Amino acid sequence: MLLNALTILAADPKQGGTVQLIMMGAIILVFWLFMIRPQAKKAKEQKKFIDNLSKGDKIVTIAGIHGVVNKINEDGTLQLEVTPGSYLKIEKSALSMEWTAAINKPAPEEKK
């Protein structure tokens, strides 16, 4: 119904470009609400996650490698212990916030 009303208004030559301008504004608003804003929020959360890393945290990389943080370097890398005595040097940007949260989530208690 709204689309029909807008089509009728758009066909009216007296309106000029007002309806088209409003529609473009609505499209930009929807684009911002559903695409740009969530991506910015996710990037902010990822940065906070990386900044709060500490030695002993269990993490997962975006490649699926599980390990424990052994050392955090100043150059943006960290030393990851994948098995006792086996270490990998990886970039902080290669960490997966979602998978790390999933493995650190407490297990649900069983019903008795």
pLDDT in tens, 59-79: 999 999 999 999 999 898 999
Q: Are 55 and 70 in contact (CB under 8 A)?
A: yes
Q: Are 81 and 96 in contact (CB under 8 A)?
A: no
Residues 6+ apart with CB under 8 A from 60: 66, 95, 96, 99, 100, 102, 103
Q: In this structure, which CATH number among 2.60.40, 2.60.120, 1.10.3470, 2.30.30 belongs to the domain 54-104? A: 2.30.30
Query: What pTM did the predictor assign?
Result: 0.62
**Mode of pairing for the β-strands spanning 77-83 and 58-60:** unpaired
The pLDDT tens digits of the residues spanning 13-48 come to 666 678 888 889 999 999 888 988 998 998 899 899
The pLDDT of residue 2 is above 70: no
